[in-house]
Structure 1
Amino acid sequence: MKTTELPFPTSVTLTQNNQARMTINLNTADTLLYIDSLLPNQSYKFTATATKNNQQLTTNEVLATTLDTTSHNFTWQTFTFGQHSSSVLYDVAIINENNIWAVGEIYMNDSLGQPDPIAYNAVHWDGSEWKVKKIDVHFRGSLITPPLEGVFAFSSTDIWFVGSLPIHGDGTNWVMYDLRTTVDPNLSLSKAWGTSSSNIYFVGRNGSIAHYQNGIWKKIESGTTSIINDIWGIVTENNEAIAYCPVSSFWIPGDKKLLSIKGNSVDSIPWTFNRLLYSVWTPSERVIYICGGGIFERRNNQWKEINITSVAVNRVRGNYLNDIFVAGDFGFVAHFNGLTWKIEEYDFNSGFGGLSVMENLTAVVGQR
């Protein structure tokens, strides 16, 4: 709400569908109003009324229609990979329905039927079948198949993998950036997020944050030595990129916090729970979802817990506020449709740690 004519402080009455909804005490000329009780797929009319010099002033009527709920009805397909040892997938990225990459450790037999001790590090969906892949890169004079933990893709020919160090490629050819030689010897990275391949962030162990912008690599000081487990961000209405990073470790005592990155500066967002933070997703500055030792939502600068499971929840991703998925231990997968949460899977023989959502397609990866 913006005003140019009222003295401060002043009292304003907000009317919703011709009924008084709330009275607000204004102290500034620009105020954000937050209403959390509106129903899905409904139209509302709002006006605001105030008094100045014994004269009633009323704003123009504002019309708003809320988002509809999305469907809880899904058809799931299960694919398994690996022929020996214990295979696992850590992360997944959907480019489109005919192009999906997942990364991890996949143990296959060689051409003689014997166990190959060198794990394949990726699987790729081409629209008709999954194929296991070895993403090989040159590293300090040797051709290696590095373990991969993260994947983030902008297009079919613009893909980033993370295997302690960043790897960029076009789907066929790959280049590893040896940041431990060129930037900092202690960097150890596992996940990525960015707005383009000219502005992308990488996070990981020991509080590691690296930023690649317009051909230049930089280390960003995070203020923590704990594990940064995930990264996700948005581009604001002012065309400013903000990335959020959950910090905590199950194995090592240390920080439990949520970092925010703008440019090359790091700040933290107040975290009021003594719970682990494993993943973050956000569609806007006003709403943030965290999962780890539970599921948490931040609206209007206030956190609340969403109590739908007691298992560890390892990843959260979504399309928008009415289409959000979470996945975790014991095969836990749940969906929020804008009004209700529904548990989609609960397989005690599985554990999920990677999740990608794009329009009507969702991919969940882990270990079984």
Structure 2
Amino acid sequence: MALALAVAVLLLGLTSPLPVLAAATGGFDNPQTGQLSAEPGHLYSVWGFSPSDVFAVGASGIVLRYDGSSWNEMSSGVSVRLWGVWGSSPSDVFAVGASGTIVHYDGSSWNAVSSGTTDDFLGVWGNSASDVFAVGTSGTVLHFDGESWSTMDSGTAKSLCGIWGTSPSNVIATGDDGVIIRYDGESWHPEASGTTAYLHGAWGTSPSDIFVVGESGTILHYDGSSWTAMDSATSDWYWLYSVWGSSSSDVFVVGQSSTLRHFDGTNWTPMDSGTTPGIWDVWGSSSSDVFAVGNLGTIIHYDGTSWSVLSGAAVGVVVNSITPFRAIQGETLDVTIIGHNLTGATEVYLGEDITVNSYAVESAKRITANITIDADASAGPRDVSVTTAEGTGTLTDGFTIQARPEEGGGLFDCSCGEEETSVPPAGLAIGMTLSGLCWGAGYYLARRARPPTRR
């Protein structure tokens, strides 16, 4: 995979593995582990059959269904992350996810299906009820023939994420290190993409008009003979996750930090999503009926004129991140908590030895607070909890108290190396590896790295 500019600064003596930023939520999901939050809230994939029948899936096995007026939660029977959803009809829907999970909806209930693997599935797509493909980590490709799933030889060990096709003999899968493989009805063959970027999503109108999106604002187009790069009008730091369109001159791309781009057949231009969390997937039934889903339960809809935020099904109180996520014994500082359903918070708790002096609920997804850490507080991680009348959401080990360094230890030395630069909180991006905080300056220490867990 092409690694862009390194972005890093001093390390403050950290010796543990450096976490990787997950999809942006106006920050990140869990900076301590680098994982997407395992709590309910994030939505990763959307697929539907009409303006009044749409499915969305996400973290902790969540499945939502839209009936044209409201989103309702369904019981999937699993608690793992579901990364992809696709169906041939409202009574034949597959969702795939972590640890080889496949669940199927028959019109009445969701039921687990044996996949024969523990590899994570990252995408699913089909031509019909008897011709469905699921792709995932380690080059995993499975095919469903209407009766059972069987393993296919993909010819690669790279993670595969995007899957789309035009017929049983023309299917493409995309993934890590610029991998594009094509299925001709008999076997998979590699194609030259011209990039080493991580390629996430694929969609097209015909065998000679296919779009692929991915890392660092990458958009590729296939004209029937070769893949060429397009100008996405997107920063190199931003990741693009999904692409869908109603025609070759009406194509939507979504990605990190609420990125939205539209292609009119000639140029890609930015669109206002009306929200801030990262957007993972996009699907529509027509040019005036497009849905996109993302972090913190974000669901937005395009009516042909503008995007608007929709209300999703209630998924409880969720705490996804806290910024900053580290502080020193005896320090008083302001923190920002990002989550879901935070309105009416009656308590913000960061564990023993930390006093919450004050807090303000700025929105259902954001709380700001001022905290003081006891001078003799024990070093180590603390859970971050927010309580409302609806319950309590907790980010396990979300905040860490660090021992105060010896005087002269360079605590406030925020100088950077020859190929390094400081990154303010607003500049944090997916694919960065955190190394700590530049104390006293409010700057994160980060360098560019691999994409988050899903990819």
Q: Is the shorter-chain TM-score for this pair beyond 0.5, marking a shared fold? A: yes
Q: Deviations over 1:280-301 (max 9, x none)?
A: 1122121221111311212252
Structure 2 counterpart SS, 1:206: helix
Q: Which residue of 2 aligns with 1:198?
A: 169
Instruction: Tell me whether 1:159 sits opposite 2:125 in the alignment.
Output: no
For structure 1, which runs of at least 5 residues remain unmatched after alignment? 1-69, 106-118, 137-143, 249-254, 352-366
Give me the whole-angstrom Cα distance separating, in 1, the residues matched to 2:183 and 2:310. Answer: 37
| AA partner of residue 243 (structure 2) | V
Identify the residue that residue 229 of structure 2 maps to in structure 1. 268
How far apart, CA to CA, are the structure 2 residues paired with 1:104 and 1:204? 16
Instruction: Give deviations 1:64-107, integer Å, cap 9, x for gaps.
Output: xxxxxx78942322124466xx61100000211111000013xx
Could you tell me how far apart the structure 2 residues matched to 1:342 and 1:306 are? 12
Match of 1:100 in 2: 93
TM-score normalised over the length of structure 2? 0.50
Determine helix, strand or coil for the equivalent of 2:201.
coil
The amino acid that maps onto 1:268 is A
Q: Which residue of 1 aligns with 2:247?
A: 284
Following superposition, the deviation at residue 309 of structure 1 comes to 1.1
**Larger Rg over CA atoms:** 1
Q: Does 1:135 align with 2:98?
A: no
Residues 146-181 of structure 1: CA deviation (Å, up to 9, x unaligned): 33211111211111111232211223322222233x
Q: Which runs of structure 2 are paired with 1:78-93 in the superposition (5 Å)?
A: 78-81=73-76, 87-93=80-86
User: Paired residues, what number?
Assistant: 247
Alignment match, 2:284: 318
Amino acid at match of 1:298: F
Alpha-carbon distance in structure 2 between the residues aligned to 1:94 and 1:350: 31
CA distance in 2, matches of 1:324, 1:174: 31
Q: Take 2:203 and 2:119, find their aligned partners in 1: how far apart are those partners?
A: 24
CA change 1:264–1:205 in 2 (3 A) is farther
Structure 1 residue aligned with 2:150: 175
Alignment partner of 1:232 is 2:195 = no
Within the alignment, does 1:338 sit opposite 2:304 as a pair? Answer: yes
Aligned to 2:213: 246
* Alpha-carbon distance in structure 1 between the residues aligned to 2:182 and 2:88: 22
Within 5 Å, give how 1:47-86 maps onto structure 2.
Answer: 73-81=68-76
Q: Cα RMSD over matched residues?
A: 2.5
- Measured in 1, the distance between the counterparts of 2:310 and 2:72 equals 13
In structure 1, C-alpha distance between the alignment counterparts of 2:240 and 2:190, rounded to whole Å:
23
CA distance 1:80–1:225, shift in 2 (3 Å): farther
In the TM superposition, residue 342 of structure 1 has moved relative to its aligned partner by 2.6
Following the alignment from structure 1 to structure 2, what is the Cα–Cα distance between the partners of residues 261 and 318? 22
Secondary structure at the aligned position of 2:146 is classed as coil
Distance 2:239 2:221 in 1: 17
Deviates most, 71-80 or 320-329: 71-80
Q: CA deviation at 1:222?
A: 1.2
Residue number in structure 2 paired with 1:49: none
Match of 2:357 in 1: none
Is the partner of 1:278 in helix, strand or coil? strand
Q: Structure 2 CA distance, aligned partners of 1:300 and 1:217?
A: 30
Distance (Å, rounded) in 2 between the aligned partners of 1:305 and 1:150: 26
- Displacement after TM superposition at 1:273 (Å): 2.0
Q: Which residue of 2 aligns with 1:221?
A: 192
For the residues of structure 1 that align with 2:171 and 2:253, how far apart are their CA atoms? 21
Determine if contact 1:135/1:146 at 8 Å carries over to the other structure.
Answer: no
1:117-132 matches, cutoff 5 A: 119=99, 121-132=101-112
Deviations 1:12-39 (A, max 9, x none): xxxxxxxxxxxxxxxxxxxxxxxxxxxx
Among candidates 328, 349, 356, match of residue 318 of structure 2: 349
What does the per-residue CA deviation read over 1:293-328, in whole Å, with 9 as the maximum and x for residues that have no partner? 311212252333222111111111111101101111
